[in-house]
Amino acid sequence: MKPVELETVRLFLHVLAATVWVGGQITLAALVPALRTAGTDVPRAAATAFSRVAWPAFAVLVVTGVWNVLAEGDRGPAYEHTLMLKYVLVLASGITAYLHGRARTPRAMAVHGALTGVTALATLFVGILLAG
C-alpha cells in the first residue's frame, strides 16, 4: 500500500472541491429542464441550494490552490505561464458564477451561465495540464 502523504491530502481536497464546483455546475444545468416542470421557482431554489456547497468548494479550491503553488515551488517559465493562465480562468470562473447568480433577465442568466461553465471547464483542463 502506498503511504498517504501530505501531498495526497492536498490534491485530494483540491480535486474534491473541483468535482463539486465543475461537476456540480454540469449536473445542475442538466437538471434545470426537469426542475422547470416542477414549478417556475424550483430551478432558482435548486441553484440557491447548490450555491451553499459551491462557494465553500470554491474557497477550498483557492486555499488548496495556494497550498499547491507553495508546495510545487518554482517549476520553470512554462509552468509559471500556465499558472498565470489558471489564475485568470479561476477569477473569470468566480466572477461569472457570481454574476450568473445575480442575473435578473433570461439573457443575462444564459450568457453568464454559459461563461461560468466554459471557464470552469477550462480551469479544470489547465489544472490537469499543471499537474502533468
**Which parts of this chain interact with ligand HEM (CB under 6 A)?**
11, 14-15, 18, 21-22, 61-62, 65-66, 68-69, 72, 83, 86, 90, 93, 120, 123-124, 127-128, 130-131
Closer to ligand HEM by Cβ: residue 36 or 81: 81
Closer to ligand HEM by Cβ: residue 4 or 107: 4
CB of 6 to ligand HEM, least distance (A): 12
- 125-131-132 Cα angle (round to 5): 90
Closer to ligand HEM by Cβ: residue 20 or 109: 20
Which whole-number Å values give the CA distances from 61 to 10, 53, 93, 121, 129, in the listed order? 10, 12, 12, 14, 16
CB of 40 to ligand HEM, least distance (A): 30
- Cell 454559459 belongs to residue: 114
Crossing angle of helices 106-131/6-18, nearest 10°? 160
